[in-house]
Amino acid sequence: MLGYIVRRLFQAVIVIILVTLGITLLLHVLPGGPARAILGPRVNAVQIAQFNHDNGLDQPIWVQYGTYLGQITGLGPVLGGHGWQGVNFGFSYRLNQSVGSILAQDVPKTMLLVGLSYAIAIIVAVPLGIYQAVRRNKIDDYALTGASFFFYSMPVFWLGILLIGVFSFTLHLLPAVGPQGDNVGDLFTQLPALILPVATLALITIASFSRYMRSSTLENMVQDYVRTARAKGASDSRVLFAHVLRNAMIPILTLIGLSIGYIFSGALITEALFNYPGMGLRFWNAGLQQDYPVILGIIVIAAFGTVMGNLLADIMYAVADPRVRYSR
């Protein structure tokens, strides 16, 4: 078990390195570089040279990458003899703030939005999926399947627009824009504004999670052990609750693990639509403005979070299902 975890951790590190390398290469292959884009139309050659020099952009790319890697792991200053100075994600080109402080502000807000949405989704989707599996091919299964397809097939922003149209423009019940604020505390004071963004994300997630629960419950229901239990005379409900459900818990753990990963990434469109001040919105703005340090920093954090989330899911799965531990 420990070997499994260590192996996966090592793989995770490799993945992060590959990700940062890939993105760095891509960023610096872009023609022109960020100087003109950041500095605007008033810029002249002197200022471009100064900008490139200040941000190390006139170095060869492998030097830039090495420096960056050293910064984000904190090993750079250590190897340079300055001792441990903590991890440093660099300084935004535009926002006059360190990327670390930007992340510290934005990541909790995204976690709030996605965490709330996914928690609600899991609580609703699991019983829903199981119910659908039990009532397979009956009319309510079809109805619920149809409904969940409907929500699942909607672009996130379209659902959001519909909800805004109904609840905000027509009924005047809820604000059309998400909560605005600098830190998570501010957001909590604007709870009505939180309802629509969370609902948008949750509805779509419920749709897909319940489909997944339905199909994995169905898979379990045709396993041999179910036939054995029935052959031994167990009633349907006993089969369901005592056997199938326990094994269906495993995919639930998977969903939770995935959700942890999505916490760092899954809300970009919702944030853009509702102007929710989280990591996704920040990434979008940074992307449009070619603010490289912020772009890189967010991708690193998102990749790290996703990888850790998947690792957590796999560990939970390995703990729950002995078959996995001994396979590859």
Partner 1 sequence: MTIGPVPQESALSIGPISVAPVDAPAEIQDIVPAYETRGVWRLALEVFLEHRLAVIGVGIVVFMMLFCFVGPLIYVTDQTTTNLNNQFFRPAVSGHILGSDQLGFDLMGRLMVGGQTSIEVGLAAALIATTFGVLYGAISGFAGGFIDTVMMRIVDAVLAVPGLFLLLFLAVALAPVTIWVLILVVAIVAWLIPARLVRAETLTLRTREYVQAVTMMGGRGSRIVLRHIVPNAIGTIVVNATFQVADAILLVASLSFLGLGISPPATNWGAMLSDGVEYYADGYWWLVYPAGIAIVITVVAFNFIGDGLRDALEVRLQKR
Partner 2 sequence: MSSRRHWRLRGTVTLVGLAATILAASCGSGGTTANKTTATFAEPPGASPNYIFPLMPLKYFSINNGDQFQALLYRPLYWYTTKGQVNLNTSLSLANPPQYSADGKSVTVTLKSYMWSDGTPVTTRDIEFWQNLVKANKANWAAYSPGEYPDNVTGVTVNSPSSITFQLSQAYGSYFFTYNELSQITPLPQHVWDKESATGTVGDYDKTTAGAQAVYNFMAAQSADVSTYDTNPLWQVVDGPWKLKSLNTAGALKLVPNTMYSGPIKARLTEFDEIPFTKDTAEFNELKSGNGVIDWGYLPQQDVPQKDQISSLGYRFEPWVDWGITYFPENFTNPTSGPIFNQVYFRQVMQLLIDQPTFIKRAYNGYAYGTYGPVPTKPPSNFVDATERNNPFPYNPAKAVSMLQSNGWTVNAGSVSTCAKPGTGAGQCGAGVPNGAKAAFNLEYASGTPALDIEMAQFKTDFAQAGIQLTLSTAPFNTVIGNAVPCSAGQACKWDMEYWGGGWSYTPDFYPTGDELWATGAGSNSGAFTDPMMDSLITATEVSNSVQAMYAYEDYAATHPPVVWMPTAYYELNEINTHLQGVDPLDPVLNLNPENWYWQ
Q: Are the beta carbons of 76 and 275 closer than 8 angstroms?
A: no
Asked if residue 289 lies in contact with residue 148, where contact means CB atoms within 8 angstroms, the answer is: no
Tell me how far, at minimum, the Cβ of 233 lies from partner 1, in Å: 21
Of residues 304-323, which lie at the interface with partner 1 (CB under 8 A)? Answer: 304, 306-307, 313-314, 317, 321, 323
**52 lies in the site for partner 2, by CB under 8 A:** no
- Of 216, 217, 220, 247, the one binding partner 1 by CB under 8 A: 216
Among residues 56, 74, 127, 287, the one that binds partner 1 under rule CB under 8 A: 287
256, with CB counted inside 10 A (0-12, 13-18, 19+), is: middle
Tokens of 16: 């992060």
Selection from 240, 151, 145 nearest residue 202 by Cα? 151
Tell me if 168 contacts partner 2 by CB under 8 A.
yes
Provide the CA 112 distance to its chain's centre, in angstroms.
12
Q: Distance between CA 108 and CA 103 in Å, rounded?
A: 8
Write out the binding residues for partner 1, residues 44-103 only, by CB under 8 A. none
**H or E, element range at 284:** helix 279-289
Q: Does 212 bind partner 1 (CB under 8 A)?
A: yes
By CB under 8 A, tell whether 86 contacts partner 2.
no
**And the tokens for 92?**
């935004």
- Tell me how far, at minimum, the Cβ of 83 lies from partner 2, in Å: 21
Query: What is the closest distance, in whole angstroms, from the C-beta atom of residue 53 to partner 2 in the complex?
Result: 9
**Helices 99-134 and 139-152, packing angle to 10 deg:** 160
Residue at token pair 């818990």: 249
Q: Does 177 bind partner 2 (CB under 8 A)?
A: yes
Residues contacting partner 2: total by CB under 8 A: 52
Stretch touching partner 1 by CB under 8 A, among 73-81, 151-159, 181-189, 191-199? 151-159
Interface residue with partner 2 among 2, 3, 32, 146 (CB under 8 A) is 32
Q: Which of 69, 120, 134, 174 binds partner 2 (CB under 8 A)?
A: 174
Joined together, the tokens standing for residue 166 give: 């109904």
Nearer to partner 2 (CB atom), residue 72 or residue 273: 273
Give min distance, CB of 88 to partner 2, in A: 14
Question: Considering the rule CB under 8 A, would residue 281 count as an interface residue with partner 2?
Answer: yes
State yes or no: residue 141 binds partner 1 (CB under 8 A): no
**Burial bucket for residue 213 (CB in 10 Å: 0-12, 13-18, 19+):** buried
H/E/C letters for each residue in 122-134? HHHHHHHHHHHHH
Q: Between 176 and 258, whose beta carbon lies closer to partner 2?
A: 176
Does the protein bind partner 1 through residue 121 (CB under 8 A)?
yes
Taking the CB of residue 82, how many other CB atoms lie within 10 A of it? Answer: 9
What is the widest separation between alpha-carbon atoms in the chain?
86
Stretch that binds partner 2, among 29-37, 120-128, 144-152, 313-321 (CB under 8 A): 29-37
Contacts of 35 (CB under 8 A, 6+ apart): 43, 47, 48, 51, 52, 57
Q: Give dist(CA 194, CA 180) in Å, integer.
A: 10
Cβ closest to partner 1, residue 105 vs residue 290: 290
Subset of residues 21 to 40 that bind partner 1, contact rule: CB under 8 A: 22-23, 26-27, 30
Q: Please select the residue that binds partner 2; options are 153, 228, 235, 275, rule is CB under 8 A.
A: 275
User: What is the binding site for partner 2 (CB under 8 A)?
Assistant: 32-34, 36-47, 49-51, 91, 93-97, 101-102, 105, 168, 172-177, 180-183, 185-186, 189-190, 192-193, 275, 277, 281, 285, 287-290
